[in-house]
Amino acid sequence: MPKTIDSPCISVCKLSKELCIGCGRTLEEIRLWKTMQYPEKSLTMKRAEQRLTSSPP
C-alpha cells in the first residue's frame, strides 16, 4: 500500500506574510499539494510545522 499524507488544511485559509495561518504552507505549496509525491509532502509538512511554531501570525 502506498504511503499517503493527508492535506494539513484545517479550513482556516488566510494568508499572512505569504503563509497560510491555518496550515503554515506557502501559496505555492498549497497549489502543488495534489501533485506532490510522499517525500515532497513529508518535507512540506515539516517546513509548515516549523513555520507555525517559529513565527506565529
Whether 24 is covered by a domain: the verdict is yes
- pLDDT the model gives residue 44: 98
Whether 6 is covered by a domain: the verdict is no
21-53 pLDDT, tens per residue? 999 999 999 999 999 999 999 999 999 999 999
Whether 45 is covered by a domain: the verdict is yes
pTM given for the model: 0.83
Over residues 10-18, the mean pLDDT reads 88
- pLDDT the model gives residue 31: 95
| Position 34, amino acid | K
Centre a 10 Å sphere on the Cβ of residue 13 and count the other Cβ atoms it contains.
11
Torsion 50-13-17-44 (CA) sign? positive
DSSP type of residue 26? B
Contact 17, 54 (CB under 8 A): no
Q: Which domain holds residue 31?
A: 15-54
Whether 38 is covered by a domain: the verdict is yes
